[in-house]
Structure formats: structure tokens, C-alpha cells
Structure 1
Amino acid sequence: MGGQGTEKSLDFKNSSRRVLGLLRPERAALTGMLVFGALSVGCAVGGPKLLGDATNEVVKGALGKLIPSQAALDHAISGGGKQAELLRAAHFTPGQQMNYDAIGRILLVVLAVYLAAAVFGIVQGRLAARAINSTVNRLRADVEAKLTRLPLSYFDKQARGEVLSRVTNDIDNIGQSMQQSMGQVVNSLLTIVGVLVMMFWISWLLALIALVSVPISVMVATRVGKRAQPQFVAQWRTTGELNAHIEEMYTGHTLVKVFGRQKEAAEVFRQENEALFASSFRAQFISGLIQPAMMFVGNLNYVAVAVVGGLRVASGALSIGDVQAFIQYSRQFSQPLSQVASMANLVQSGVASAERVFELLDAEEQSPEPQHPERPAELRGLVSFEDVSFRYEPDTPLIEDLSLKVEPGHTVAIVGPTGAGKTTLVNLLMRFYEVSGGRITLDGVDIAAMSREELRSGIGMVLQDTWLFGGTIAENIAYGATGATREQVVEAARAAHVDRFVRTLPDGYDTVLDDEGTGVSAGEKQLITIARAFLAQPSILVLDEATSSVDTRTEVLIQRAMARLRSGRTSFVIAHRLSTIRDADVILVMENGSIVEQGTHQELIEAEGAYARLYQAQFAQAVAEAD
């Protein structure tokens, strides 16, 4: 945890460009946003100059009342000095009263200008919101599509909570950062340009004085921003780690309590929470230094403009109204600079999240689908492994030169110790992983030449780890076949012996389950997933410890149902309890990625090899448990 403070942004510059590239499809909305932003800023920038004109009218009226005649004015000017210069610059008419009509007209124009600025600003905000939300919507869709193209190996190496954090928290942070910063940055930059134009129009000398603050502000923002960016990267990385821990502890909270690991889990949470606090505090504190520093620079600029402007009024070079307008512009000039700088933390946080999302989007995908996918003329279920080799890591072979032919309708049982490669064999058949060497064919067609959707549509799979989604029992069963009717769902449920316990529930098949399957036992959840496979009516069945969570009586019923379901279908059954696969057509015994024995149950028992030793060990254990 201690090294987080030195973690650096992967590539802030290119990541920022890539974030902006996401907005490219919204060019029309962004163009409209810029146009209405320019109109809004233009109206807002014109306001101070108009108010300056109103001030000049007030000054003229006051001086006209104070100096009643031209003779009095000539006498006042004849004395020379600063007073004479000030009176000449006022351009008033002696004896003229306050022109309230002119002042009223100017103020009405100011009101109309500021009202127009507000309306243009509302339109700009709407266009910005549409562009940003459309962009985030596309980004979410891209990430969702990417997840479907990622190989199983990616998810094997990533904590589930970490992936979820990138898909949810990081994308949300990108959207919020863009929403809060983009429109404001655009307005601030347009305001800076518009104010500079007006400042140079009024007085180039005062404008140059105001510009002195720009390089100082840029230097402050750049130096502080470079120190803050690594902290934002650390903040979102530790957020992902904390989410992964919370998700892990929540899904396994029963085991945590059973083994008395609450204190250890709480301590890990405390450490990761402290790490998140530390990185978040450093990121926010360092980036928060920008705004007060910019305000200090802006105040110095304000004082300089006020002093020099007062001297210019005294010398008659500027009118009081112009100086008033310029002082307002100087505040308008320093304010957007401060806003742009203060939004650096939002931008840096958003880019840090974007880098994490881009990492996911740039992850290596599974091999592309063939341009012209092949398919068997008739899906019979003839499966052949021809000199298949596979390795998870390049230097660590798992399966070497495995050959196997499974006839249609046969049941193949795969047994062996943990890590022997049993599930890997099935994953290769499903193309969750690609073979490193050799090939696998289905009815004579290389599965690598088939589309994954076509291949998997003919395979039904029941895993040891059950998966149910939030919905009714009927909907969970119907997941196995699109458009299944209630009658078909009930028929599949009866075949899998789900119907017998569903009938005891108050809402029957309309009983709502959450994604954890709360309300039904582990064995009943397994039965529901088996019913799902029944409904799919696949040509090939894959059963990976499919009956491990059911009781002995239910297991017998499931075996009988499976026998009916397997009739005419090729089946791969992975089992640890050898009693469940005695009737298999062929039993494969795997060790270290190789098939060391194969044959029927009786043949392997008589061979007195690895299978016989496994069987005898389980039989001896069963006798010991009975005793």
C-alpha cells in the first residue's frame, strides 16, 4: 500500500486525447454548444461595457449639475492640472440635468443582454448534456460488447469486483467529470477571449497588466496538476481493489462467519479503506491548492488594475465608466482562469478513470470469428480430439497430444484428481479457450472454423457452480430456450424433478429469486439449472459435477432423468463420485493433462490401474463413513 503515492498516470496526454475522441460522433451537438456558448459569453461580456456607459451618463449629469455654465467650466479648466484633464475627459454639457431616459434605455439593454445570455446558456447546457450522456451511453455499450469478446482467461486473472468497478464506478466518474467540466471549460475559455478583446478595446496598457497573471496562473496549475495526477490514478485503483474485497466478502459472508474470519476480513477492509482515504485525500488536497493560488494571483492582478486605472482616470486618459468596466473585466478575466485551474482535479480524476476503462477496452480479445464460418451438414454429436495440446502459460504445458473420439449418443465420463485437466477439456470443446496445438472437430468440422454461437447453440452445459439471475423460477428455466412456453418449462421442470418442490412454494413457478437464489437450497438451485439444460434440448451435454449439490435420493432421480435426456445425445460428464458414472459408455482417467486409462467401468476395475485405485479409495471411504 505504501507505494501508491509514487504510481504515475499511464499516459495523461494521449488518454485525454482519446477521451475527447469519444465525443467525435457528437460533432453537431458540440458545434451547437460552442455557438450558443459564444453567444451567451458575448452577451455576458458586453454587459460591463454597457454599465460603464450608464456610469458615464451619471457622471455627466452630476458634473452638469455641479458646473451650471460654460463660463464656469472654462474657469475650472483654465487652472490646469489633474482636475482640468478629468473635466475635459468627461465630455459633459454644463448645466445639463441627469438624463434619466438615456440611463433607463441603457439599463433596459443591459437587462435584455443578460437575459439573452441566460437563455443561450440554457440551450448550451442542454446540448452539452445530450452530447456527454450520448457519449457515456456509447462507452457503456462498447464496454459491454468488449466483455462479450474477452476470453475466459481475462476473467480468470481479474477480480470480479475490479471488473465491475471499471464498468460502473469508472464510467460514471468519466461522465460526471465531463458533465461538470466540459461546458464550464468552454465557457471559461470563451470568456477569457471575449474579455481580452474588450480589455484591449478599452485600454491596451491595462490589458497588458492583466495578462501578466496568465503565465503565472498556467505555471501554478501545471506544477500542481503534475503532482495530483498520480494520486488520482491511485485513488481509482484502490477503489477497484476495495470493491473487489467487498464483493468477495459479501458473496462469501457465510463462510467468513463459519470460519470466524470476520476480524481478518474487517482488517483487510480497514487497510484498503485507509489506502483509499490516503490516496483520495492527497489527490483532492493537492488539486485543491490550485484554486486558492489562482485567487491570490487574481487578487494581485485586481489591485494592479485598480491602481493603474485610477491613475489613468486622474490623468484624463480614461473615463470613470471605462475604468469601472475594466475592473469588472479584470474580475471576469481572473475568475475563468481560476475555474479552469480548479477543474483540473475533475479532469485528472476523469482521465484516471478513463485510463482504467481504456485498459479494459484494449485488452486482448478472443480470436476473431471466421469470415465464412462452416457448420456440420447434420449435428449428430461426433466429437474428435486430434493431437490436442493446451497450456495456460506458454512455459507450462497442461495437455499434450491428447487424442479422443466420441461417437454420437455416447456418454463419456471424465475422472481424475484435481488439476488433471478435466474441466479444461470441456472448456476447449466449448471454445472458452483455444487449443495450442492440434484440433477438435464436431461431425467432421473443425470447431475453430465454426462461429462460437453456432457451436455453443448445440451444447447444453450444467456447472457445479449454479447461476441464477433475478427473476422467477419459470424465467430462470426458460433461459435455456428462447420463446419457450409455460408448458415446455413445466415439462422440463418435471424431467429434472424441479416440479416436486416448486409446487410447495406459495407462488409456484412465479416465485421470484434474486441473483443469489435466496429462498431455495443449493440442491434445488442445481435442479433448476438442470431443468434449464433439459429445456434447451442440446445435441451435446456437458455436466461438470452437475449433481454434486443434491442429496443421494435426488441424485438417483437425476441420473434416471439424465439417462433419458442423454438418449441419442453425446454427453461429457465430469465427476468425482465414481458411483455416478458406472453406466458411462467410456470412462477417461486423466492425470497431468493426459488420458492414462480409458474403458468401461468393469474393464477399468479389472485393469487394476489408476481408476481402480480411485474407486477403491472412495469405496473404502464410504465404508468408513458408514461404520
Structure 2
Amino acid sequence: MKYVRQLARFLHPYRTMLFWGSILLILASATNLAIPLFVKQLVDVVMVKKDVELLNDMAWIIALLFLSQMLFSTAHNYLYDITEKRVTTDFRKRIFRHIHKLSMSFFVKRRTGEIMSRMTNDISTIEGVITDLPATVLQQSIRLFGGIIIIIYMNWKLTFMILVLAPILVLFARYYGKRLRALSTEIQDKLSNSTTILEENLSGMAVVKSFVKQKLEIDRFEAAVEDSFESAKKRVKISAFFGPSIGFIAFITALVLLWYGGHQVIAGNISPGELIAFILYATIIAGPMGSFARLYTRIQEALGASQRIFDILNTEGEVKDIPGAQPMPAIVGKVEVKNLHFHYRPDQEVLKGLNFTAEPGEMVALVGPSGAGKTTLINLLHRFYDPVEGEICVDGIPIHTVQLSSYLQQVALVPQETLLFGGTIEENIRYAKPEASEEEIVEAAKSANADAFIRACPDGYRTIVGEKGIRLSAGQRQRIAIARAILKNPHMLILDEATSALDNESEKLIQEALERLMKGKTSFVIAHRLSTIHNADRIIVLEHGQVVEMGRHQELMDKEGLYHYLYTLKSYQLEHEPEALDEADL
């Protein structure tokens, strides 16, 4: 019932349409109940009275009832169906909005294909019952109870035979509904697994081909699909048996009615018209019983899907504004890291009590071996995560106490793995500032040394970059990302190997652009390039999640500690073993 109530909230804004749809549904159902009464009279006119004129009148009345029922049903179907599509659209939008409120940890813990499956397969399962539930309950309740009242009035003995059907159908529905609900959840889980494998292959096709692992991936996907098929086969077996079983019970009941009713007609206790009308009412009553049984199984399947959907909707973002959070004032740039602790898993601490201060306008280089905590520190500075203990203060203000959006609007991130959206180059640069003029976009591109190659593209700034920028080289993608950061004109910069994908000539030009951009702004750079380290105002050396050294380049070289070792090692490799150089070592 918890999930039913949550789904019902999405129907509330459209209660007016549902109200009029329900009125039309009531009229259609009432008309349907009236038809057998007139059919009874028509049969008696033909078989007993043999009155042709009255036969014609009754035929016209029945035809008018059929027409009215059609019109009422058409209008009701339109109102209910359009509401269903509207609610489903709102549902998708709500989930998409909610996903953007979730913290990065949510996406780290879940695979992309699993989330996509929940937004596609599960919502499609739910869609079929959003308005079917209230419509079926209302329509079939009117037919069931209205029909029972009429046939009790007509012949209570025949009514008793029909009502024997009810408990059998309830038991069937209850038993098979539970099994179908469990299977529905199982099938959706297995579908999400195959969707995940598909998404991974489409995103990483170059890696698959490079390692000649097409057969391995095909086998993985086929195994996942076959696993899903096995669960679907179980559901098909149940559904295949359930429907005909209901039909069999209904046919047996109808046969008994005909047999018993036939005896009553022969004995002269009831008229032929009454028997025909009674059978029609029995059909009308059996319909709701079967519909309720089928609806019950569909609800069980939908509840299995809704459980997975509301698992997302009921998840709260870990990084969010605290009550009463104020906007972040214009950043000057003093950054203080105080006793910073962080872990992704409680048994594996990544940062262990970091302490340092960066003055306004300083360029801070973060160096250290792989796994030292550089990227984690960058994520905390960008507030993708909040620390487990300690705090980060900007201009003396703890960043977790201010509105997140107001802080991020003043911070620019150029990540190591550049992400471009599938639109044009212009749209990707303009992403930082939607109201930017063409002149501003071109100027940002020039500053990032991107204007020349953009103009060489077939459609210039309106060239489509393709999914994740696949039509551009890695260096071109990185320069567009830098142009995007330049256009944002932030007060604080976070650069995660911002020039790692550039050749030497482009790097020199980009370094000049970044130096102009960083002037007067506090900048944090995960530095692999020696030139970046030389220019840094402060170098923070991390090892095992702790600050082991801090200072300028020459100061740290004179200490001959970890920084001296890493720098000397890299310098040697650059000169003698460039092919053995691991960029992640510094």
C-alpha cells in the first residue's frame, strides 16, 4: 500500500480529468447493465409475443444503447489514457530531476545500465496500471455489484451458482499474483544486468576491439539475456495457465447455468428471455471477476517494478544544503583544509587528517604516487563529497554551510576525462554560460587554443561532436573543455591534469591561457607536467592520504624527500625511458 499511495500522488494533479472520466465510465457501465434487460424483452417478443412492430422498437432501443455505450466508453478511454501518458511523463521527469539531486556516491555504487533499466523497463511496467487500477476497480465494481443485484432479483437460485465462482477466482489470483510479483522483480533485475552490459560495450567498444574480446562480451550479453529469458519463461508458464483456467471455470459455470436454466424454461418457471438475460448478466459478472484476478496479477508485477523505482526516489542525496544555508559570497580565494578525513568504505580511509592553507591567488600543485588521495581531495574541494571528519573553509566559511549551487557557480573544474555532450561545439562551450554571445564563445575558444581547429571543421562552431565528443581527438576535446571553463570565468579553479591530453605545442599555448585565467584566482592542479610543478606557488605532496611535504619546487628539491625522488625519477624517465613513464606516478 505504501507504493500504491506514492503512485496515487502522481494522479492527484489530474483529478478533474479523472473525475469526468469516471462519470463517463459510470454511464458506460450503467448502459452495459441495462442492455440485457432489453435483450430479455426482445427475445420474449420474438419467441412468445411474436410482435414485429414491438420487435423493431426494441431493436432500435438496443442499438441506441450500444451507440451510447460506445460514445461514453470512447470519451472515458481518451480522458483516462491521456492522463496515464501525462502521469508517466511526470514520473519520468520526477525521477530525472531526483537523480540530479543525488550525490556522486550514488552513481559510484550503481551501474549506469541498472539506472537506465529502472527508468525504462520498470516505468513501462508501471505505466500499464497507473489509470487501469482506478478505472478497472470502478467499472468492474459497478458491473459486478449491479449485475448481482439484478440477477438476485431475477432468480436467486441461478445467482448462487454464479457466486460459487468468486472464491475460486480469488484463490487463483492470490496464489499466482504472489508468484508473478516475485518473478517480475527478478526479471527486471536481470534485464538491468543485460542493459548494463550493453551500455558498457557501447561506451567501451574501442577497448573491446583492442583486446579482441568480442566473443567474451557476446557470451556475457547472451548469458545475461538467456538468464532473463529463463525467468520470463516461468512467468509465461504461470500466465499461460492462469488465463485459460479462469476461462475454463467461467465456461463450466455458463454450461451449468444453461443446463439448469434450460430445465427451468422447459418446466415453464422462467421465460426464454429471462434465461438469455440471466446468461448475459452471468457473463457481465464473470467479466469483473476475471478482470479483478488479472488486475491483481498486473498490480503485483507493477509493485515489483515500483519498488525498484521508489528505491531511487526515496534515496536522499548525501551532499545537500543544510537548513538555513546562505548563498556563498564572492570568493576571494583563501582555502583552509582542517583535519580532513574521508573514506569511501569505512575499512579503508583515503584521507587521514589533512591540514594546509592556500592563500588567495595561489596556484597549488598536488603531487604524489597513485592512490595518494589527490583526486579524492579534488572531489572534496569541488564538494562532490563531504568529509567524514574535518572541514574545508573558503574565505573562512565552511563550504558545507553554504548553498551548494552558489559555491559551484564560482568554481570551475576541468577533469582528466573530458565529457562533451552530443550537440555542437558551440553548445558545449556555451554550457558554462547559456547567455554568452558568439564573440564571448570565440574569445574563450581562442584563449584555449581551440579556435583554429574549430574553424577547420566542416561546420565550424556548429559542428556536431557526437556522443561524448567521439568525433574529436582527445586533445581537441580537452581544449573545448578548457574553453568551457574559461567562459565560466570562475573565482576558483580545479584542474585535474588539464593539459595531459595535449601535445607539446598545444600545451605551451594552453599553459599561457591557463596562467592568464588563473591570475588572481586560487587554483588547485593535479600536476603531472614538470612545467606545471615549476610554476606552482605551493606544492603539496601526498602519500597514503597524508601531507608529507609542502613548499615550492626548489625548497622540496633541497629536502631530497619523496618529491625529490618522484621528480628525479620522472626526469630520468622523460630523458631515457619515455615509453616506461607512468603519468600517474606524479
SS in 2 for 1:590: strand
CA shift digits 1:455-509 (9 cap, x unpaired): 0000011001111112111111111113000000000000000011112112111
Q: Which residue of 2 aligns with 1:490?
A: 442
Is contact 1:381-1:540 (8 Å) kept?
A: yes
Q: Which residue of 1 aligns with 2:41?
A: 53
1:303 is displaced (CA, Å) by: 1.1
Name the amino acid aligned to 2:156: W
CA shift digits 1:168-215 (9 cap, x unpaired): 322232113435665345433332222222212221111111110110
Name the amino acid aligned to 2:374: K
SS in 1 for 2:540: strand
Q: Which residue of 1 aligns with 2:21?
A: 33
Name the amino acid aligned to 1:516: K
1:28 is displaced (CA, Å) by: 2.8
Return the alpha-carbon distance in structure 2 between the equivalents of residues 370 and 350 of structure 1.
Answer: 35
Which TM-score applies when normalising by structure 2? 0.95
Is contact 1:41-1:194 (8 Å) kept?
A: no
Distance 1:135 1:613, change over 3 A: same
Equivalent residue in structure 2 for 1:374, among 307, 322, 326: 326
Q: Which residue of 1 aligns with 2:582?
A: none
SS in 2 for 1:441: strand
Name the amino acid aligned to 1:372: G
Equivalent residue in structure 1 for 2:226, among 274, 284, 305: 274
CA shift digits 1:343-363 (9 cap, x unpaired): 444333322211110111112
Equivalent residue in structure 2 for 1:590, among 529, 534, 542: 542
CA shift digits 1:93-114 (9 cap, x unpaired): xxxxx32221111111111111
Name the amino acid aligned to 1:535: L
CA shift digits 1:570-589 (9 cap, x unpaired): 10001234443221101111
CA shift digits 1:10-58 (9 cap, x unpaired): xxx5434443444334333333232221210110121111011011111
CA shift digits 1:111-161 (9 cap, x unpaired): 111111111111211221233223222322321221122111010010011
Equivalent residue in structure 2 for 1:481, among 425, 428, 433: 433
Name the amino acid aligned to 2:121: N
Q: Which residue of 2 aligns with 1:405?
A: 357
Q: Which residue of 1 aligns with 2:584?
A: none
Return the alpha-carbon distance in structure 2 between the equivalents of residues 459 and 292 of structure 1.
Answer: 64
Name the amino acid aligned to 1:492: A
Structure 1 or 2, whichever has the larger Rg, is 1
Q: Which residue of 1 aligns with 2:251?
A: 299
Return the alpha-carbon distance in structure 2 between the equivalents of residues 514 and 348 of structure 1.
Answer: 41
Give runs of aligned pairs for residues 325-404 of structure 1, distance below 5 A: 325-375=277-327, 377-404=329-356
Q: Which residue of 1 aligns with 2:501?
A: 549
Equivalent residue in structure 2 for 1:619, among 555, 568, 571: 571
Is contact 1:228-1:283 (8 Å) kept?
A: yes
1:373 is displaced (CA, Å) by: 2.7
Distance 1:285 1:190, change over 3 A: farther
Return the alpha-carbon distance in structure 1 between the equivalents of residues 11 and 267 of structure 2.
Answer: 52
1:529 is displaced (CA, Å) by: 0.5
Give runs of aligned pairs for residues 53-132 of structure 1, distance below 5 A: 53-61=41-49, 98-132=50-84
Return the alpha-carbon distance in structure 2 between the equivalents of residues 376 and 276 of structure 1.
Answer: 50
Q: Which residue of 2 aligns with 1:444?
A: 396
Is contact 2:328-2:406 (8 Å) kept?
A: no
Return the alpha-carbon distance in structure 2 between the equivalents of residues 456 and 250 of structure 1.
Answer: 31
CA shift digits 1:486-544 (9 cap, x unpaired): 00000000000001111211211111122221321111011100000011000101101
1:607 equivalent to 2:559? Answer yes
Which TM-score applies when normalising by structure 1? 0.89
Ranges in structure 2 where 5+ consecutive residues have no aligned partner = 580-586
1:144 equivalent to 2:96? Answer yes
Name the amino acid aligned to 2:113: G
CA shift digits 1:212-260 (9 cap, x unpaired): 0110111112112222221111110111111111000110001101011
1:614 is displaced (CA, Å) by: 0.8
1:625 is displaced (CA, Å) by: 3.1
Distance 1:376 1:181, change over 3 A: closer
1:277 is displaced (CA, Å) by: 0.7
Is contact 1:474-1:510 (8 Å) kept?
A: yes
Is contact 1:428-1:434 (8 Å) kept?
A: yes
Return the alpha-carbon distance in structure 2 between the equivalents of residues 567 and 458 of structure 1.
Answer: 15
Is contact 1:416-1:576 (8 Å) kept?
A: no
1:416 equivalent to 2:368? Answer yes
Q: Which residue of 1 aligns with 2:162?
A: 210
1:626 is displaced (CA, Å) by: 5.9
Equivalent residue in structure 1 for 2:269, among 307, 314, 317: 317
1:279 is displaced (CA, Å) by: 1.2
Name the amino acid aligned to 1:157: K
Q: Which residue of 1 aligns with 2:383?
A: 431
Return the alpha-carbon distance in structure 2 between the equivalents of residues 112 and 401 of structure 1.
Answer: 83
SS in 2 for 1:582: helix
Q: Which residue of 2 aligns with 1:568?
A: 520
1:199 equivalent to 2:151? Answer yes
SS in 2 for 1:398: strand
Return the alpha-carbon distance in structure 2 between the equivalents of residues 161 and 557 of structure 1.
Answer: 39
Equivalent residue in structure 2 for 1:159, among 67, 89, 111: 111
Is contact 1:151-1:433 (8 Å) kept?
A: yes
Name the amino acid aligned to 2:346: P
CA shift digits 1:573-609 (9 cap, x unpaired): 0123444322110111111111111111111111111
Is contact 2:328-2:403 (8 Å) kept?
A: no
Paired-residue identity, %: 33
Return the alpha-carbon distance in structure 1 between the equivalents of residues 155 and 18 of structure 2.
Answer: 34
Return the alpha-carbon distance in structure 2 between the equivalents of residues 118 and 135 of structure 1.
Answer: 25
SS in 2 for 1:385: strand
Is contact 1:290-1:341 (8 Å) kept?
A: no
Return the alpha-carbon distance in structure 1 between the equivalents of residues 31 and 283 of structure 2.
Answer: 16
Is contact 1:390-1:437 (8 Å) kept?
A: yes
Equivalent residue in structure 2 for 1:19, among 7, 22, 29: 7
Ranges in structure 1 where 5+ consecutive residues have no aligned partner = 1-12, 62-97
More deviation, 570-579/250-259: 570-579
Is contact 2:367-2:541 (8 Å) kept?
A: yes
Name the amino acid aligned to 2:471: G
Name the amino acid aligned to 1:152: M
Is contact 2:7-2:130 (8 Å) kept?
A: no
Return the alpha-carbon distance in structure 2 between the equivalents of residues 524 and 296 of structure 1.
Answer: 68
Return the alpha-carbon distance in structure 2 between the equivalents of residues 533 and 506 of structure 1.
Answer: 24
Q: Which residue of 2 aligns with 1:82?
A: none
Return the alpha-carbon distance in structure 1 between the equivalents of residues 88 and 259 of structure 2.
Answer: 48
More deviation, 41-50/334-343: 334-343
Is contact 1:287-1:345 (8 Å) kept?
A: no
RMSD over aligned Cα atoms: 1.8
1:388 is displaced (CA, Å) by: 1.7
Return the alpha-carbon distance in structure 2 between the equivalents of residues 497 and 443 of structure 1.
Answer: 32
SS in 1 for 2:467: coil
More deviation, 576-585/248-257: 576-585
1:283 is displaced (CA, Å) by: 1.7
Aligned residue pairs total 579
Name the amino acid aligned to 1:193: F
Equivalent residue in structure 2 for 1:183, among 127, 135, 139: 135
SS in 1 for 2:283: helix
1:515 equivalent to 2:503? Answer no
Q: Which residue of 2 aligns with 1:87?
A: none
1:247 equivalent to 2:235? Answer no
